[in-house]
Structure 1
């Protein structure tokens, strides 16, 4: 294996392993339910659990993003658009497609696209082909095709594509997503993999923070232009969710940066967003009409039901409550939506996390 000095992206790719192991641990400890993650973690049954602090943070992150995704899909399902599509950028070992496809909202998911480094997509494509539980959700064996030397995988609804998101989207994404290909349409006709007429949700879970702002802005702008090109008629709603760390100028943030630097990881994408108030600007600067943000600390305090916090608090002994609060206060979920003039602006403006019935969650 190449060292990080010879392969500078190895350190960034290793963060996907961290996230997958964290999710596996949260599932093993019963914070979350996910029957698919073990198929994407090598030797899953031998992996030790992560500390309680990581399990609690993973639970808050997953619960909140799941809620936003589900709400987006429900709004799309009631908008007479024929369903929606999701594009997960830097998807890594995420299992969201399988959880949605086998859940109550599965019928409204028209297309799910994942994009990541070729080293990551190659491993995921191999894991999918190896696991009957993963492959069966994609369709018949004849419908699942490996492409681009094993770095991509295509099926009727699910597409796994390799790309370096730091490159200009015109180079990294245009040919893969927007150029018509056989079978790219809804049936067997020719069309683009990324369908321009459907409500579309972009997911960026801990990916933009590793990119310089000019690259991340170009990436968001490419999708805005794709769905909101001039003279293209009434555009489809475009939503986006970002999860990542922020506010790293304070003492605790500096510790986080130092720990990352020790792993040869830098966070240039955090620089333009020094505080909580700056987070919605990521979308507002691109013409999104609605954008909001919440820290994981506030999500756990106010947006997760009391009985769920009570249940998870009894799974493990958590001694580092002060550290937990500090960590959760430095991670945020930001979401926004850009709609056309007549496509139900008020409906999409209501897309948000709903507070728990109680105003505040206290630790037991």
Structure 2
């Protein structure tokens, strides 16, 4: 006679969105939040077309009539592939290369846990769930965004067993023991960022801060305050960095049209910088030891050198004859970085510099 089956494990406790700081009212906040929905839909289109693997994006996109999701043209799919592939490479290199004395350096991500990742303006991004599935989630993964956004994301996660139930190990839970934290923080108020850091981060653990299409929506002085905060919060550990993806070049004909289109949606690019040089200067001015920036044409060239087989696969997915327009769009987005350099090696810096 077979013994009775064991009782099923208790479900993970519901994810709670922590609130660190009050928000002031400002026209355009809702419009900026709405850009998150468009980004999610674009990434889902990119995944559905086969450019990237993201099995979690569908949970955060509301289907249209008859359950259909929006399909974007190849030029958008290819742009999101470049963005996602570049950021994934930076994150994986950080997890692999940013080590403290006594940490494993065998290149196996599952054995490297003493890391922290902070995603500012995270929206409904799914980076954490991908890392968790690979058993590569860092010690702490902190997402910061509007209170309304993190509350919506928490509700989605709690309603989806495949999101709430995939724990990296039995010792990790959303509420107390696990590394995943959703925190409401107003990027216009550095005090709320300080509150989040004080409660959730260890200043002596290697930290990667990432931001995608976020700072350009702030006023320039507000964005600079965020960059300065990123430099300060990572200053105690040299194996740390800040990497952002943002629009640039608003002054030429394409850039002016881009800025007008975004402003017409109610979310103007108040803090957009004019060039890769300005991005680099801001990183240095705000306290990072090493800084740089490249436009997305250079990241595409980097991906082609680094993984020519995958780029060749992507090129074959859809008919594409908009090369001139593609290069023009890519020239108006960039990846910028500020790094507290590693002792004994520049592997992370080289990866971020897209060598």
Kindly indicate whether the alpha-carbon contact (under 8 Å) linking 2:120 and 2:143 is maintained by their aligned counterparts in 1. yes
Determine the structure 2 residue equivalent to 1:360: none
Describe the shift of the 1:278–1:7 C-alpha distance in structure 2 as closer, same or farther (beyond 3 A): closer
User: 126, 130, 133: which is aligned to 1:102?
Assistant: 133
Aligned residues: 317
1:321 positional shift? 2.1
- The aligned residue for residue 230 of structure 2 is 223
> 21, 32, 37: which one pairs with 1:17?
37
Unaligned runs of 5+ in 2: 1-24, 104-112
- Assess, with a 3 A threshold, how the Cα gap between structure 1 residues 101 and 275 changes in structure 2: closer, same or farther: same
Shift of 1:278: 2.2
TM-score (norm 2): 0.82
The answer on whether the counterparts of 1:198 and 1:236 sit within 8 Å (CA) in structure 2 is no
Structure 1 residue runs of 4 or more that deviate by more than 6 Å after TM superposition: 139-142
Structure 2 residue 332 is the aligned partner of structure 1 residue 350: no
Contact 2:79 2:330 in 1 (8 A): yes
Q: 2:184 aligns with which of 162, 167, 177?
A: 162
Shift in CA distance, 318/346, structure 1 to aligned 2, threshold 3 Å = closer
> For structure 1, which runs of at least 5 residues remain unmatched after alignment?
146-153, 179-191, 229-233, 356-364
SS in 2 for 1:57: helix
The counterpart of 1:32, out of the listed 27, 48, 52, is 52
Partner of 1:84: 115
Q: Per-residue deviation at 1:351?
A: 4.0
Higher relative contact order (CA 8 A, sep 6+): 2
SS at the partner of 1:279?
helix
- Which of 157, 182, 207 aligns to 1:128? It is 157
CA contact (8 A) 2:211 2:243 kept: yes
Which residue of structure 2 aligns with residue 65 of structure 1?
87
TM-score (norm. length: structure 1) = 0.80
Corresponding residue SS for 2:200: coil
Instruction: Tell me by how many angstroms 1:73 deviates.
Output: 1.2
Helix, strand or coil for the counterpart of 2:116? Answer: strand
Secondary structure of the 2:128 match is helix
Q: Does the 8 Å CA contact 1:64/1:353 hold for their aligned counterparts?
A: no
Q: Shift in Å at residue 268 of structure 1? A: 1.7
- Does the residue aligned with 1:87 lie in a helix, a strand or coil? strand
